[in-house]
Amino acid sequence: MPRAFVLLNAELGYEGPLADEMKKLPGVKEAYAIYGVYDIMLKVEADSMEGLKDFISLKIRRMNGVKSTLTMLIMEKANPS
């Protein structure tokens, strides 16, 4: 199951409400309002890589108050040889 961390920059004043709204989305497993360069951190998952791409591009990035995103795909553990 593809998973990713998504860092978001939000419009001023949208940080808390946007994080709360993100928590309600079915593909969002964790959502936090954070301090620093980014305003919100999400952990998201989908059934397929295409589904993950669509969820981030078509749902998260189009939400009112989202300025920009940075997506980091989670690598699965490699089997030791």
pLDDT at 76: 76
- CA distances 29 to 4, 32, 81, Å, are 10, 11, 31
Domains of the chain: 3-73 (3.30.70.920)
pLDDT 10s digits, 5-63: 999 999 999 999 999 999 999 999 999 999 999 999 999 999 999 999 999 999 999 99
- In this prediction, residue 79 carries a pLDDT of 61
From CA 23, how far away is CA 63, in angstroms rounded?
Answer: 13
* Nearest Cα residue to 73 out of 54, 41, 45: 45
pLDDT of residue 81: 58
Would you place residue 77 in the very low, low, confident or very high pLDDT band (cuts 50, 70, 90)?
A: low
* pLDDT higher than 80, residue 78: no
Q: What is the DSSP string of 18-62?
A: HHHHHHTSTTEEEEEE--SS-SEEEEEE-SSHHHHHHIIIIIITT
